[in-house]
Amino acid sequence: MKNQLIEKLQTKSAVIGIIGLGYVGLPLVLRYAQVGYKVIGFDIDQSKIDCLADGKSYIERITQSEILTAQDQGFEATTDFSQVSNVDALIICVPTPLDKFREPDLSYILGTMKSLVPYLRKGHVVSLESTTYPGTTQEELLPRMEQTGLKVGQDTFLVYSPEREDPGNPDFTTQTIPKVCSGHTKACLDVGMALYGQVVDLVVPVSSTQAAEMTKLLENIHRAVNIGLVNELKIIADKMGIDIHEVIKAAATKPFGFVPYYPGPGLGGHCIPIDPFYLTWKAKEFGVHTRFIELAGEINSAMPDYVVAKVMEALNRKQKSVSGSKILVLGIAYKKNIDDMRESPSVVLLQKLQDLGAQVAYSDPHIPKFPKIRNFEFELQSVMLDKDSLKSFDCILLATDHDGFDYELIVNNADLLVDTRGRYDETLLNVVKS
């Protein structure tokens, strides 16, 4: 069975099923279609299926022409999971958020497996790409697959290969980002290498699914901890009257032993604010208290409060209070030049300022209307920036530094500008760095 499946994957006669058509799944669809596979996309969100059926894209960086080209290659999207029986490979790209207790929420993974199990058959490979704690693939997916009576590693194959995406980065694509791959057995790994080897330039095998799961967490914890460090240094530097961005720029001239990380208003995105807590939760099972990781999480989670305090302080210098002030937040995506708002600290800032009585608004060239997202509701549309609109606000808060902003226009017409991204020189009379 293994050799038959590998041959189908290598000859591109296999049908690929992608489950979860979001920021990870949809680019993967396009890549498999691009190299000649027939792809079926699965999602529980009917609006996404309808959008794709019309040949349109709901992700800014993916064009309509790319969707249409994939459809010409045979791509179709559906909410009908009975079609699982018609594919050979099932790649799971669903969210893994935290619950209200900041513990892992595997409901999307488990819900997906519940939908797949009735249609699993011999010759299937199931690959999980969602970030999760070490042991998830073996503890949660394996028993569900084997309850069908199929033997994993012989009849079916189980793979873990964590997604690696960097939205807004033009230098890396699904094809060029090296991909870590693991399998429940050696046969599973062989199938996984064949599955991804056709679409990714470099596939990196590791010894176990647990090692691959830990690899993904290490990558994101590395960033979270270093961002926590530089955020703390920013607060110290601010107290000392030192520009932390100048310091980072100078330190980055060292050609070895230093990697620059940059402070901001908090962590955003689907990985860095969430993934470290998957490991801290799992570590408790082994009696380990992950103090270093949790401290970084505390620092990063506190940054929106620090920024709000800087806004209050800056307004006070103008003899104004936050309550009643008109505040414009520039950028509500979690990072610049994208339309992704997942876990964006800008949204937290909007909520905190509104709770303090401010009249809040936002401007973001990538997000024309505030969408419906978990835990936040704003009836807002992006403000068009011009001299009059900028002058109408008591405070402009730069939260996400999109390249599309006219920074000269902003600074020349803002009565007060709080900069969380180091775009401006604080010697300017109306600029406060945060």
Which amino acids are annotated catalytic? Answer: 271
| Cα 415 to Cα 106, 382, 427, distances in angstroms | 47, 20, 15
The answer to whether the CB of 349 falls within 8 A of the CB of 399 is yes
Strand partners, 327: 360, 395
Give which of 58, 69, 7 is closest to 36, Cα–Cα. Answer: 69
End-to-end CA distance of the chain: 59
Compute the CA torsion angle 9, 14, 19, 23 (nearest 10 deg).
60
The amino acid that residue 6 corresponds to is I
What are the tokens at 200?
């990714």
- Whole-angstrom Cα distance, residue 382 to residue 361? 8
What are the tokens at 114?
């519940």
Beta strands in 85-211 (DSSP E): 89-92, 125-128, 157-160, 179-183, 203-205
Could you count the other beta carbons within 10 Å of the beta carbon of residue 3?
Answer: 10
C-alpha radius of gyration, the chain, whole number = 24
Q: 83: which DSSP letter?
A: G
What are the tokens at 343?
């876990």
Go through the chain and tell me how many residues it has.
434
- Whole-angstrom Cα distance, residue 353 to residue 330? 14
- Whole-angstrom Cα distance, residue 311 to residue 420? 10
